Every structure is written in structure tokens, then in C-alpha cells.
Amino acid sequence: MRKIIHIDMDAFFAAVEERENPALKSQPLVIGGRPEGRGVVATANYIARTYGIHSAMSCAKAYRLCPQAVFVKPRIALYRDVSKDMMDVLKSFSDLIEPLSLDEAYLDVTENKHGEPSATRLATLIKSRIVEATGLTASAGVAPNKFLAKIASDMNKPDGLTTIAPHQIADFLQTLSVGKVPGVGKVTERKMHGLKIFTIGDLQKCSESQLTRDFGKTGAWFYSIARGVDERPVKPHRLAKSVGVEETFPSDLECRVELSEQLSLLCTRLANRLERKGVLGTTYTLKVTFNNFRKITRSRTISEYRSEADALFDIYQTLLLELGEDQPAIRLLGVSVSKLNNQENQDKNGGSSSGSSIRTGLPEQLELPFPTY
């Protein structure tokens, strides 16, 4: 039986900005583009969320919902530095850490560097150490697997801690929406609703053969996860499957010359990113969003690695020309490379270091009855 902790920083980008400028704590704060432009909300603080603002919403809509909100441009370099401080805390507890983004990660603490049997106790200590290191709060979920730990971390935000012990799983899952199941997107959820499957309790009533018939090979996954079975291990080395860049333009582009110029800039950025990450790939994908919001992608796989900006431009320019000239104006262009060679690089590099030095011992204020799980 594994003991998994999911750590999720609370409104991370916004919290960092509030730390840097405490005056923002009392105001609705949106991290994203300018409301008069085409930017989207990266995150919002909890005050702004009461107005219905959420991530991936257009900044223009966020402004309509809350005209008095403060809009701040993301500072990714700063967030990355704070993320490193948070990850260093996690490394002092376990080597089995799987980062999901700058602000969240899984830890397997079944065996941990403190020799502490209670994962709940460890999660409490981790949260405390994150506050010491960053000045920010995190929410934590403790459970026997990744699926349940991630759900638990979201249950009592902000600054929450929820434990789902093994004996609680069956009751916990009964009323949980099927939309919480990994792999159930909006389309699949609508299909499940059409089959009278609304909760995981409803999903448990379906046989594996029925789910396989209705949902193909993912039916077996739904059958297992409905019973709280998730055998996915925490993977310390999550390998990127693709590297890409994209740009939403301030105004729609129709002129081929302008499109070529923007595509060239994107290819230069992509080449630099590939070099920084030390990876190469063989599948090249062009992403286009037109001004009517229709989206298309075009891909090409070649046998040789290409990483120079000029070579990348030739590939993506060909894909762009294949769209034809009778198309609406373009609001977004993106270029990416997949089928990367990073697995080969990872095998050569071996394991990772444990990171920062380990602080041993548990604080006296935590010397109280904790769940054994």
C-alpha cells in the first residue's frame, strides 16, 4: 500500500505577486494579459475568483466580470525561482517526486527520509516547511494513490490538508462526480450522463465488459479507477513529450509576408528552447487558430533531427502553405516538435540527486496524535 502526497500551491502566480506587493492582497488580482488585448487568465487570487474569474478565461471577459480587478503580467522567471524553493523542500522528504507543473507535484512517502510512518504528519510538516521557504501556502492531499491524492488536495483549498485513508475509499468514491476521473473530459462525461452514469458510485455498477464496449480500451481504466485502484507510480523523471511555442497576435494576420515573419520568429524561439532543453525530435506540428476560432493542426514526420531555426522554418512554412490561400485571417500560430530523443538522454544521465540538505527531526508542535496513515 503506497502513501502518496499531492502538493498544490494555492493560487501560485497570484500568491507570489501578493508576496512581492502586499497591497495586492486586498484587491481582486488577475495574472494574465491586458484586458484590452487577447490575453488569457493564467490564474487569479481568491478575491477575484468570487467574481467568477478563472484560469483560461479571456482577460477581456475577466474585466467585464470585475472592472476593478488589477491585471498583472506573469513573471515566469520569478515564479520558477519560487518553484525551485518549493521543490527543494519536497526533495528533503523523498526522492520519489513527480512535478506536474511549477506549482504542484506528487511525492511517494511510503519510504521517506524522515522515517515517519504517518503520511498525514509528513504532509503537515511539508506545508509548514513550504511556508518557511517561500512565505506561501500549499494544499495537500494524502491517499494510497495519485488519483485520490490529487482529488484530496483540492477539497479544502486554500491551505488545506485532506487525508483519504484506505478504509475510507469506498465511501468517499460513492458520490464523487465522474468528471473527477482522469480521462473523463467533457465529451466522455456527456456520454456517461447519457448512460445514466453521474457518479463514481454509478460507474461501479457497470461491468468491465460493458465499459469496454461503450468506451473502448479506456473502459478497463474506468472500471479500475471506480474502485479506487490506480497503480500508476510516482515517476521522478517525467519526460517532456513535446517542445513548442505559440503566439496570439494583437491583430489578425492575413498578409503572407507578415505570417512568414511571425513564423520565422517562432522558429527562432523554438530552436532556442530545443537547445536549452537539450532535446531533438522528428515530428513537427503547426497549430493555427483562425479569427473565427476554428483550429487546425498539420504535422510532418521526417527521419532526421532538425533544430536550426532556418531548417525549422522550411518545414513549418511548407505546412502553412499547404493550408491554401482561401483561409480566414489568423489569430494564433504555434509550432512544436515531438517524438523527442529525451528518453535516450535520460537513460544516459541516470538518476537524479536528492537536492537540498535534509532537515531531520519533527517540530515539537507536531507532537500530537496523528493518523497512522
What amino acid positions are annotated as catalytic residues? 104
Find out whether 18 and 5 touch, Cβ atoms under 8 Å.
no
| Nine-digit cell string for 245 | 511555442
CA angle 134, 136, 137 (to 5 degrees): 130
Count how many residues are written for the chain.
373
Helix (H, G, I), strand (E, B) or coil at 216: coil
Q: What is each CA distance from 183 to 215, 221, 293, in whole angstroms?
A: 11, 9, 25
Residue 29 phi/psi, 5-degree rounding, is -120, 130
- To the nearest 10°, the Cα dihedral for 205, 208, 214, 220? 120
Q: Are strands 330-340 and 242-253 parallel, antiparallel or unpaired?
A: antiparallel
CB atoms within 10 A of CB 314: 12
Give the residue from 53, 48, 42, 52 showing the smallest Cα distance to 12: 42
Show Cβ contacts of residue 16 under 8 Å, excluding neighbours closer than 6 positions.
Answer: 75, 78, 79, 82, 136
| Distance between CA atoms of residues 192 and 334, nearest Å | 33
Which stretch of DSSP H or E encloses residue 46? Answer: helix 46-49
Question: CA dihedral defined by 298, 300, 301, 304, rounded to 10 degrees?
Answer: -130
**What number of other Cβ atoms are within 10 A of residue 265's Cβ?**
15
